[in-house]
Structure 1
Amino acid sequence: MKFSEMPYNRVDFPAVIAQGKEIIQRASQAKSGEEQFEIHQEFYKLLDHVNTLYTIAHIRRDGNVADAFYEEENAYYDEMLPELTALGNEYQKVLFATPYRAYMEEKIGPVAFKSMELEMKCFNDSLIPLMQEENTLSTRYRKLIASAKIMWEGEELNLSLMSKYMRSSDRDTRKKAWAAYAGFFEDNQEELDEIYDQLVKNRTKQAQMLGFENFIDMGYCRMNRNSYTKEDIQKLRDQIKKVFVPLASKMHKNRQARLGVEQLHYYDIGVYFPQGDPAPIGTPEEILESGRKMYTEMSAETKDFFNMMMENELFDVFGRKNKATGGYMTELPDYGVPFIFANFNGTSGDVDVITHECGHAFQSYVAGKDPIKDHYRYLTMETAEIHSMSMEFFAEPWIELFFGERGEDYRKMHLEDAIDFIPYGTMVDEFQHIVYGNPEMTPKERRDAWKQLEKEYRPFLDVTGCKFLEDGRYWQRQHHIYELPFYYIDYVLAQLCAFQFKIRMEKDQADTWAAYMKLCELSASDFYPSMLKQVGLTVPFEEGCIQKIVAGLDKKLVQ
C-alpha cells in the first residue's frame, strides 16, 4: 500500500489498555507452551498496530511541522505512550515468569528474555509522569531546532539546508555560512541549556527512583546493552584515544595539505577538496532512479527491496520549508515495510540516504520475512548500524552513478569522513558519561567538559572566531544527546565493523556480501558478540581490534 493511502486514526488508548490487560490475564493462565506462544503473538500484534498509527502520525508531522493536526497528535502520543510502555512491562513480567520458559525460549530465543529483563529493570509505573515530561522536553528541543529560519542570500533556510553552503568550495562563503548557522544556536543558547539541564535532572531522578546510582546504568538498560558493559566501552574509548586519534590526525594533515591551508579551522569541517567536495549529479528524482539501478545490479534481494520502496511511496527525502531536520529509517509493522525520511540538500549527504538509510531499510525488509518477530524486535543499535554503514561501502562500485567523474573523489572523502567520525562519536559518548555521572554540573561546567574532550579527540581543529564553538556548544546540534542518551557509541561500534567489511570486500566481494546477508538475517536472534564471530568480524572493544583496523586503513590514506 502507498504511504499516502495508509489510513490514520488516533489510537484509543483506554481501549488498547483494556484489550492488552485482557490478553495479559490469559497469558498468565496459559495451559501450554503452544498457547503461551499464540497469546504472545496476539499481544505484539496489538502493540504493532499502535506503533503503526503512531509512526504514521510522526512521519506526517515531521513532513510538515506546521501541520496543526499532526502536531496535536504527536503531543497526544508524548503523553500517552508511557502508558503503553507500562502495559508492555506488565506483559513482560508475566512472560518472564512463565512455567513454559524453556518452550518460549526455544521459540523466540534467549536474546528476547535478556532484553525483557533489562526493560523491566528500567521501568515501573511510578516513572510515567517523569517519562511524559521527558518526552515533552525532547519534543521541545526538536521543535526548537526545526524552527530555525536562517536568511541566506534572500532565501529562508532551515539548519539542514545550510549544510550545502557550510561545505562550499569558497572558504569565505563557508565562514559566513557557519556564522549564520552558529548564530541560531547563540540566539537560543539559554533555552538549549535549560532543556538539557532539565533532561539530565529528569533522567537522573528516574534512575534514582529505580535504585540506580545515576542514569548511566539505566541508560545502558534502555539501550538494551544485553551483552557488554560500560567497562567494555571504557576499554574501547581508551583504544580510540591511543590508537585511532593518531590515524585521524594523520588523515587531517593530509586533508590540510590537499586544501592548501596553513591551519584547519572550524569552517573547514567536512570539506575535503579545494575545488569543493563532490556533489551528486542530477535532480533528487534522478538520484532515486540511480539508487534503483544500483540496487537492481547489486543483488536480487536488493532489487526487490528498492522497487517495493519506490512503488509504495516509502521515501520522503526532498527538502522543503517546515519539514523537520535530520533523517531516519522507521518501520510500519502493520504493513511489513520500512520508511525513509530525510532532507536532500544538494550535498553528498543525499547519496548517504540512498546507502546508509537504505542499509537499515534493507535489513528490516530481509528480517521482516522471519515469522518470529522477536528475532528482530530486540535488534540492538550497534548491530543495526552495521547494516547501514556497511551498505555505504558495498555501494562504492556504483558510486559514479551519483557523482560522475568525481566518483573516486567521493570514495576518498567517504573513507576520510568515516575515519573522522570515530573520535567524534567516541567523544560524544564520553561526554554523556561525564554529564550523567555528575548530574549536578552547571551548564557551563558541561560546556567546559566538552571543550576539554575536543582537545583530546580533535586536536587538529581550531575553533577561534566562532563563539558557538569556543564556548563548547557544538554538542547542542547533536539531537542524539538530547533525545537518545548513550545511543551515539553504537555508530562507533558499527563503523568499526563496517571498516572490517570494507577491508575484506576488497579481497573477496562475494564472500563478504554473503557474510553481510547472514548478519542481516541473524538480526537479533543471537547476542552481538556471538553474531559478529559467526560472520567473521572481531568485536571492537576486544584488545587489539582497533590496532588491526588502523593498520588496514593506514594503507589507504593518500594525500
Structure 2
Amino acid sequence: MKFKDMPYERVKYEDAEKEFRQIIEEFKNAESGEEQFEVHQKFYTLSNKIETTTIIANIRYDIDTANEFYEKEKEYYDEVEPKLANLMVEYRQAMYDSPYRSYLEGKIGKVAFKNIELEIKSFDEKLIPLMQEENALTTRYNKLIASAQIEWEGEKLNLSLMRPYLTNSDRNIRKKAYEKYSAFFLSVEDELDEIYDKLVKNRTEQARQMGYENYVELGYYRMRRNSYDKAMVENYRNQIKKYFVPFAEKLHERRKNRLGLDRLSFIDTAVYFLDGNPAPTGTPEQIMSAGQKMYSEMSPETKEFFDFMMKNELFDVLGRKTKKAGGYMTYLPVYGAPFIFANFNGTSGDVDVITHECGHAFQGYLSGKDPVQEHRDITMETAEIHSMSMEFFAEGWTELFFGDRAQDYKSMHLEDAAAFIPYGCMVDEFQHIAYANPDMTPKERRAAWLELEKEYRPHMDYEDDPFFAKGGFWQKQQHIYNSPFYYIDYCLAQTCAFQYKAKMDENYEEAWKSYLKLCELSAKDFYTDMLKEVGLESPFEDGCIRSVIEKLESKMV
C-alpha cells in the first residue's frame, strides 16, 4: 500500500489497555510453552498495529510540522506512549517470569530475553510523568530547530535548505551563510540551554527513581547495550584519541592544502575541493531513478526491495520550509514497509539518503519477513553497519549520480567518513560528562565541549563566531537532545564499515555475502558474536583501530 493511502485512526489508550490486559491474563493462564507462544502471536498483532499507527502520525507530523491535526496527534502520543510502554513492559515481565521460559527462549532467542531484562531495568510505571515531560521537551527542541527562517537572497530557508550555501565553493558565500546560520542559534540560545538543562535533570531524576546514581547507567539500558559496557566504550574512545585523531588531523591538513588555505576555519569543515564538493548531476526524480537502476543491478534482493519502496511511495525526501530537519528510516510493521524521510537540498547528502538510509531500509525489509518480531529489534551499533556499509557497496554506481566527478565523491566520502569518527566519539564523551554532572551550568557545558574539541578536533577554529566560538556547536546535534548515547553507535559502525570497504576491494562478492548475512541475522545474536560470525573484527578489540587505519592509509595516497 502507498504511504499516502495508509489509513490513520488514533490509538485510544483505553482500548489498547483493555486488549493488553486480556493478552497478559491469557498469557499467564496458559498451561504450556506452546500455548504461551500462541498468545504471543496475539501480542505481535496488537503491538504491530499500535506501532504502525503511531509511526504514521509521527511521519506525517515531521513532513509538515505546521499541520495542526498531526501536531495534536504528536502531543497526544507524547502523553500516551509512556503509558503504552508500561503495558509493553508488564507483558514482557510476564514472559521473563514464565515457567515455560526455556521453550519461549527456543522460539525467540536468548538475545530477546536479554533485551527484555534491560527493558525491565529501564522502566517503571512511576516514571510515566517524567517520560511525558521528556517527550514534550524533545518535541519542543525539534520544533524550535524546524522553525528556523533564515533570510537568504529574498527567500526564507530552514537549516536543511541552507546546506548548499554552507558548503559553497565560494568562501565568501560560506562565511555569509555561517553568519546567518550562527545568528539563528544565537537567537534561540537561551531556549536551547533551558531545554537541555531540563532534559538532563529530567533524565537524571528518572535514573535516581530507578535506583541509579545518574542517567548514564539507565541510558545504556535504554540503548540496549546487551553485549558491552561503559568501560569498553571508554577504551574504544581512548584508542580513537591515541590512533585515529592523529590520522584524522593528517586528513584535515591535506584538505587545507588542497583548498589553498593557511588555516582551516569552521566554515571550511564540510568543503573538500577548491572548485566545490561534487553535487548530484540530476533532479530529485533522476536521483531516485538512478537509485532504482543501482539497486536493480546490485543484487536480486536489493532490486526487490527498492522496487517495493518506489511502487508504494515510501519516500518523502524533498526539502520544505515546514518540514522537520534531518533524515531517518523507520518501519511500518503492519505493511512490512520501511519508510525513508529526508530533506534533499542539492548537495551530495541527497545521494547519501539513497545509500545510507536505504541501507537501513533494506535490512528492515529483510528482517520484516522474519515471523519472530524480536529479530527485527536490532541495536543501533548493528543497524548503522547496514547503512554505512551500503554507502561503500554503492560506490560502483557513483557515476550515475555524480557523472565525471564520481571519483571526487568517492575520495570525499572516504575522507569524510574517517574524519567523522573523532567527532562522534567527542559527542559521546560530552554526553557522559553532561549526565555524570547534571548540575553543570550551560556555560560549564559549553566549556566542556571546547575542552573536548582540543582532544578530538585540535584543528577546529571557530574564529570569533558569537555562538560556535563559545562552545555551542553541540546544540545543533539533534541526537544529543533526542537520543542520549546513540551517537557512539555511528562510530562503532563506521569502524566496521571500513572493514567492509577493505573486504570489497579485495573480493566484492564475498564482502556482499557477509553483509547480506549480517542483515539477515538482525537481532538473532549478540553484536560482538555476530561480527565474528560474518568475519569482522570487534571495534572493542585491541588492534582493531590500528588495523583499520593501516588499510585506510593505503587508500589515501
User: TM above 0.5, one fold?
Assistant: yes
User: How many residues end up aligned between the 2 structures?
Assistant: 557
Any gaps of 5 or more consecutive residues in structure 1?
Answer: none
Question: Which amino acid in 2 is paired with 1:83?
Answer: K
Q: Deviations over 1:118-162 (max 9, x none)?
A: 000011000000000000000000000000000111111000000
* Match in the other structure for 2:68: 68
Equivalent residues in 2 for 1:85-100 (5 A)? 85-100=85-100
Q: By how many angstroms is 1:557 displaced? A: 1.6
Distance in 2 of aligned mates of 1:38 and 1:181: 55
Distance in 1 of aligned mates of 2:500 and 2:357: 18
* Match in the other structure for 1:138: 138
* Match in the other structure for 2:319: 319
Q: Deviations over 1:480-535 (max 9, x none)?
A: 00010000000000000000000111000000000000000000000000000000
Equivalent residues in 2 for 1:80-479 (5 A)? 80-377=80-377, 379-479=378-478
Q: By how many angstroms is 1:44 displaced? A: 2.4
Q: By how many angstroms is 1:468 displaced? A: 1.5
- 8 Å contact from structure 2 (residues 333, 368) kept in 1: no
* Match in the other structure for 2:32: 32
Q: By how many angstroms is 1:12 displaced? A: 1.0
Q: By how many angstroms is 1:465 displaced? A: 2.2
Distance in 1 of aligned mates of 2:369 and 2:125: 34
Q: By how many angstroms is 1:367 displaced? A: 1.2
Distance in 2 of aligned mates of 1:314 and 1:163: 24
Q: By how many angstroms is 1:374 displaced? A: 1.1
Distance in 1 of aligned mates of 2:468 and 2:555: 31
- The list of structure 1 runs, each at least 4 consecutive aligned residues, that deviate by more than 4 angstroms after superposition, is none
Q: Secondary structure at the match of 2:8?
A: coil
Q: Secondary structure at the match of 2:340?
A: strand
Distance in 2 of aligned mates of 1:64 and 1:181: 22
Distance in 2 of aligned mates of 1:426 and 1:63: 30
Distance in 1 of aligned mates of 2:252 and 2:41: 52
Question: Which amino acid in 1 is paired with 2:491?
Answer: V
Distance in 2 of aligned mates of 1:105 and 1:473: 47
Distance in 2 of aligned mates of 1:473 and 1:463: 10
Q: Secondary structure at the match of 1:490?
A: helix
Distance in 2 of aligned mates of 1:45 and 1:414: 41
Deviates more, 1:540-549 or 1:40-49: 40-49
Distance in 2 of aligned mates of 1:409 and 1:113: 47
- 8 Å contact from structure 2 (residues 89, 123) kept in 1: yes
Question: Which amino acid in 2 is paired with 1:118?
Answer: L
Q: By how many angstroms is 1:51 displaced? A: 1.0
Distance in 1 of aligned mates of 2:96 and 2:42: 16
Q: Secondary structure at the match of 2:343?
A: strand
Question: Which amino acid in 2 is paired with 1:427?
Answer: M
Distance in 2 of aligned mates of 1:133 and 1:231: 31
Q: Secondary structure at the match of 2:308?
A: helix
Q: Secondary structure at the match of 2:462?
A: coil
Distance in 1 of aligned mates of 2:164 and 2:545: 33
Distance in 1 of aligned mates of 2:295 and 2:15: 43
Question: Which amino acid in 1 is paired with 2:413?
Answer: H
Distance in 2 of aligned mates of 1:189 and 1:398: 42
Q: TM-score, normalised by structure 1?
A: 0.99
Distance in 2 of aligned mates of 1:423 and 1:331: 30
Q: Deviations over 1:147-191 (max 9, x none)?
A: 000011111100000011000000000011011111110000000
Distance in 2 of aligned mates of 1:345 and 1:339: 19
Q: CA RMSD in A?
A: 0.6
- 8 Å contact from structure 2 (residues 538, 544) kept in 1: yes
Q: Deviations over 1:278-302 (max 9, x none)?
A: 0001100000000000000000110
Question: Which amino acid in 2 is paired with 1:107?
Answer: K
Distance in 1 of aligned mates of 2:466 and 2:552: 35
Distance in 1 of aligned mates of 2:460 and 2:69: 44
Q: TM-score, normalised by structure 2?
A: 0.99
Distance in 2 of aligned mates of 1:111 and 1:149: 46
Question: Which amino acid in 2 is paired with 1:109?
Answer: G
Q: Deviations over 1:88-137 (max 9, x none)?
A: 11001100011111111010000000000000001100000000000000
* Match in the other structure for 2:519: 520
